[in-house]
Structure 1
Amino acid sequence: MNEQTLPKQEQDHQPGDEHLMHPRPDYSPRYRGSDRLKGKVAVITGGDSGIGRATAVLFAREGAKVAFLYKDETEDAEETERLVKAEGADVFSMAGDVGETDVANRFVEAVVQRFGRIDVLVNNAAEQHYQEELTDISDEQLERTYKTNIFGMFRITRAALPHMQEGSSIICTTSVTAFKGQDVLMDYASTKGAILAFVRALSGNLASKGIRVNAVAPGPIWTPLIPASFPAENVAKFGKNVPLGRPGQPNEVATCMLFLACEDSSYITGQTLHPNGGTLVGG
């Protein structure tokens, strides 16, 4: 029986480049738009590739103006801009480290100057590093992972909140690892648990203001993080161990983001959606 789900491949930097992957992830929306985000302003971190790109394109198809932050993957970011414009949407992007307070503040300020407000915030940027032993996780790696995954999320949200009104939506990308762990991604998994707690706390804090806060917890999704994180042998079997027997595609997660962003989920806050290929988790 063939255990391979993908070709062997690796990338040597985080969070990885989509244009170097083979096969390329599937970001394309599957259906015509129905104006579920018409006139809205959507902000996405890590919007240049993977789940962020698929979300940007889908939101654009549904009528949103899209702003996204990316680290330094210029070629991927330019492609995402092109794809969003092809949907007839206005788009703004900026390069910068999501973990830096100054970057978070400048990005949000630029978005508001361009579009006037923020209606949807998708906190999606992340990094992860494969380590088989806890003792091999350096302080530098630990602090870098937390800075990107949870501190950056906190800082972007803090900057954006003054520009969000009743009816706005905040969506945070956590992970199946927050629920079941991952023995070679111990620092990453712990940040994803922190994100889950952040969502549950913030949702209660903002409920009286009519701002909903939810999470999406993807399983094995084919994004640049995968070849940028794992040895080539692991990449070749990526997603094989879930009940559906394959990795998911970014456009299979973006639909969860859309549901939580639009009025279809108007009575949902503090909750988590699980596009994970069938892995059963609690919480």
Structure 2
Amino acid sequence: MGEKDKVKTQEPKKDYFMDDESKNMDRKPLIESDSYKAAGKLEGKVTLVTGGDSGIGAATAILFAKEGAKVAFTYHSSDEDATRTENRLKEIGAEVLVFKGDVGDESFAEEVISSLTDKWGNIDVLVNHAGEQRYQSSITDIKAEQIDRTYRTNIFSMFYFVKAALNHLSEGASIINTSSITAYKGNPTLMDYSGTNGARVAFTRSLAQNQEILDKKIRVNSVAPGPIWTPLIPSTFPEEALEEFGKDGALGRPGEAYELAPAYVYLASDDSSYVTGQTIHVNGGVIVNG
């Protein structure tokens, strides 16, 4: 069976599984697979996913809903993506809260946590996923505004949401940060983005050892995606770079968002009760020794 046929066997049934930004893409990103079997691993848990309207964030939110969780998610600007994901979560049967705003703004993080906890009480799972990247072939093209924006979205937001949520995290809660293979390999055209992901890994390891976190038995881990086919990829990279995207791993192809989401379920659930300060590498077989 060829690579193209393998992808076809996993195609979802409904168009709203596709991200709004991907309408004109030759290859559609997939955020849900019919092959997943839920087991109630997050029954009744209160979960929050930043950047949960599309891509990996939406795929994670959908599996959390399938596992019985209440799901809140944030998004920045795509109302259509957010509505589609919200409707899908409700179709699954989840209680849902949706927040629109800038995760790089501390006051937004405080508003989200306040509204969520007023509605649902304590938080059991916090997923810091929201992020952004911009392709630049030369460091001289990376302006101060871009650096500030990338770090504000990708790393400042993690501090803001953890700070705002800390007093509302239940004992034994899970914090999951999305990092990236670029934290370990680097990327010459995503230098500021790679830098933020190195910071995300260091933040994860440091927070996992923090005494306030340990006192509440909170586990802190990260997931480091490799080349995953989401709308961010064709909108970020020049067309000539897309042809080789994801082909350097052992599996020889980019991954799909739905292939990432089970890692988040594992880290959110009691299945990972002895795992903290760690990173799960879901990257198609790229060895990073990290």
TM-score (norm 2): 0.90
8 A Cα contact 1:18 1:50, kept in partner: no
Shift of 1:211: 0.3
1:93–1:20 distance in 2 versus 1, CA, 3 Å:
farther
The 1-side partners of 2:67 and 2:229 are apart by: 24
> What one-letter code is carried by the residue in structure 2 that aligns with 1:248?
G
8 A Cα contact 1:43 1:68, kept in partner: yes
1:217 aligns with 2:224: yes
1:24 aligns with 2:28: yes
Q: Give 5+ residue unaligned stretches, structure 2.
A: 8-18
The 2-side partners of 1:18 and 1:46 are apart by: 16
Match in the other structure for 2:60: 55
1:51–1:117 distance in 2 versus 1, CA, 3 Å:
same
Match in the other structure for 2:131: 126
Match in the other structure for 1:102: 107
Counterpart pick for 1:231 among 238, 256, 260: 238
The 1-side partners of 2:86 and 2:244 are apart by: 32
The 2-side partners of 1:183 and 1:65 are apart by: 39
The 1-side partners of 2:174 and 2:63 are apart by: 16
The 1-side partners of 2:147 and 2:157 are apart by: 14
8 A Cα contact 1:19 1:76, kept in partner: no
Match in the other structure for 2:207: 202
Shift of 1:20: 5.0
> What one-letter code is carried by the residue in structure 2 that aligns with 1:111?
L
1:156 aligns with 2:164: no
Q: Deviations over 1:64-108 (max 9, x none)?
A: 000000001110001111111111111111110100011111111
Shift of 1:19: 4.7
Match in the other structure for 2:14: none
* Higher relative contact order (Cα pairs below 8 Å, separated by 6+ residues): 1
The 2-side partners of 1:198 and 1:69 are apart by: 21
Give the 3-state SS of the residue equivalent to 1:94 in structure 2. strand
8 A Cα contact 1:48 1:80, kept in partner: yes
1:265 aligns with 2:256: no
1:65 aligns with 2:32: no
The 2-side partners of 1:183 and 1:16 are apart by: 29
Q: Give 5+ residue unaligned stretches, structure 1.
A: 7-14
> What one-letter code is carried by the residue in structure 2 that aligns with 1:24?
K
Match in the other structure for 2:120: 115
Shift of 1:42: 0.5
8 A Cα contact 1:170 1:214, kept in partner: yes
Give the 3-state SS of the residue equivalent to 1:166 in structure 2. strand
Match in the other structure for 2:176: 171
The 2-side partners of 1:250 and 1:96 are apart by: 23
Give the 3-state SS of the residue equivalent to 1:167 in structure 2. strand
Match in the other structure for 1:241: 248
The 2-side partners of 1:120 and 1:40 are apart by: 7
Shift of 1:235: 2.2
Counterpart pick for 1:90 among 88, 95, 118: 95
Give the 3-state SS of the residue equivalent to 2:225 in structure 1. coil
Match in the other structure for 2:10: none
1:120–1:25 distance in 2 versus 1, CA, 3 Å:
same
Q: What RMSD in Å do the two structures reach over aligned CA positions?
A: 1.7
Match in the other structure for 1:40: 45
Give the 3-state SS of the residue equivalent to 1:196 in structure 2. helix
Match in the other structure for 1:9: none
The 1-side partners of 2:264 and 2:22 are apart by: 20
Match in the other structure for 1:11: none
Give the 3-state SS of the residue equivalent to 1:184 in structure 2. coil
TM-score (norm 1): 0.92
1:280–1:162 distance in 2 versus 1, CA, 3 Å:
same
Shift of 1:276: 0.3
The 2-side partners of 1:18 and 1:83 are apart by: 17
